[in-house]
Structure 1
Amino acid sequence: MLTLRELTKSYANGRQVLSRLSYRLESGEYVAVMGESGVGKSTLLNLIAGLDAPDSGAIEIDGIDIATLTDDAATLLRREKFGFVFQAFHVLPHLTVAQNVALPLLLNGMSAGNRSKVRSAEQMLEAVGLDGRGHDFPRQLSGGEMQRVAIARALIHQPKLILADEPTGNLDPDTAAEVLRLLRDEIKENGASAIIVTHSHSAAATADRVLELTKTGLHPIATGPEG
């Protein structure tokens, strides 16, 4: 599903963060990536998403080398095949909860009558425990509720790959645990592959596998729950 081939990346100051890193993520696999601060975890996600470019190496999604795509084609690929969950939620304050969740459908040009393969915003909100909240605005939600909206938005268009960057970093432990269970359940139900970057061992434990990022690779360090 996702193949990384000998990725090398340096920051503008010349410090190298990745050196010939290779990895293959299989379809339906959910992995957590851990590592020391500054090791390049968020940089790796940005490279995979095509938001940044490696100095050398290749990133392939379903056999498509991202580097060979035009900017417009790369944008379309992200909209169709990716779902994103961030620490800061990135819920748009001027849109209702339902409008926030439905945004990927709008960006992908899906009309209301052409959504047979995706769940509606109302169905997604019910799935994440926010049934009846579609007309509310983000200012009426707690942090945990906003992250639920972000999860619903990331999954509504049934993307093949979910990228989550510290998705529970702004949540209290109980809310974080609830959100992580929800994220895992929804990823598995949608049959998506997923990479979650986190400092939290409890967050990492929800994944199928836990990997440590070093400059030269992703190395197994633990095994998460099966399923």
Structure 2
Amino acid sequence: MHTDTETMPPAVDAPPALECRGLRKSYGHGRVVLAHLDFALAAGEYVAIMGDSGVGKSTLLNLIAGLDSANSGMILIDGVSMSSLDDDAATLLRRQKLGFIFQAFHVLPHLTLQQNVALPLLLNGAPQERALELLAAVGLAGRGNDFPRQLSGGEMQRVAIARALVHRPKLILADEPTGNLDPDTAHEVLALLRQEIKANGASAIMVTHSAAAAASADRILVMSADGLQPLKQ
């Protein structure tokens, strides 16, 4: 994992970027996916989470992103408990502070690449010029008027990453961001992701099965039925 000097220590009095306290999630027939999970992500920290399929890694990201709800427990973003906010306030906080990179891209086929990347800016009422800057940063300069059908899988993942980063979110969630990429493209995407995270002082969680991808993070945790534990070297 990365130990270079680009990682700045968080301010002493800074609240964790994210706290999960006693998260529990179960599905039909009592299948427990997460059982009283506790986790904290420091401001400016980039963490990779590994573990067997079905152990709850993607479920954790979905709970943090508000795409699913826990049976019990608390999620705090920048010290704010999401359960203390009404739906509109929680949506606004996530819209402003979160960026989510989906394994399946979720690029909208009827929008151009520029329009896809600009969506978070549009929703936040921000100037949209940065959309073209981010497309260039992911190696798609001059492609803003193209449509997703004209892209390879690796190029669509680049668009998804540009969209997740364009509004400079303070918390980035990445679900298997290299799962559909060839090794060379994966290496480039991981370098870009880390560069953008550190340049914007963001915090990030990446769920991955790839040891090579996990090595780009500041630290690696392994999820099991017992929760999250540091990777044993």
Normalising by structure 2, report the TM-score. Answer: 0.88
Q: Do the aligned residues in 2 keep the contact of 1:2 with 1:25 (CA within 8 Å)?
A: yes
Other structure's SS at 2:28 match: coil
User: Quick check: 1:9 aligned with 2:25?
Assistant: yes
CA distance in 1, matches of 2:29, 2:206: 27
1:189 to 180, 199, 220: 199
- Mapped pair 1:24 → 2:40: yes
Q: CA deviation at 1:215?
A: 2.7
* Structure 1 partner of 2:138: 128
Does the CA-based 8 Å contact 1:8-1:54 persist in structure 2? yes
Residue in 2 aligned with 1:91?
A: 107
Q: How many angstroms apart in 2 are the aligned matches of 1:222 and 1:178? A: 27
Shift of 1:217: 2.1
The aligned counterpart of 1:201 is: 211
State the distance in 2 between where 1:24 and 1:138 align.
36
Counting matched residue pairs gives 217
Measured in 1, the distance between the counterparts of 2:115 and 2:194 equals: 23
Counterpart of 2:172 (choices 156, 159, 162) is 162
User: Retained in 2: the 8 A contact 1:93–1:139?
Assistant: yes
Percentage of matched positions with identical amino acids = 71
SS of 2:159's partner is: helix
- CA–CA distance in structure 1, aligned partners of residues 36 and 82 of structure 2: 17
- Separation of aligned partners in 1, 2:69 and 2:208: 22
One-letter amino acid of the structure 2 residue matched with residue 67 of structure 1 = S
C-alpha distance in 2 between matches for 1:33 and 1:126: 29
Q: Secondary structure at the match of 1:53?
A: coil
Q: TM-score, normalised by structure 1?
A: 0.91
Q: After TM superposition, give the deviation of residue 222 of structure 1 in Å.
A: 5.5
Q: Which moved more, 1:139-148 or 1:24-33?
A: 139-148
Is the Cα–Cα contact under 8 Å of residues 58 and 65 in structure 1 kept in the other structure?
yes
Cα distance, 1:172–1:26 mapped onto 2, change above 3 Å: same
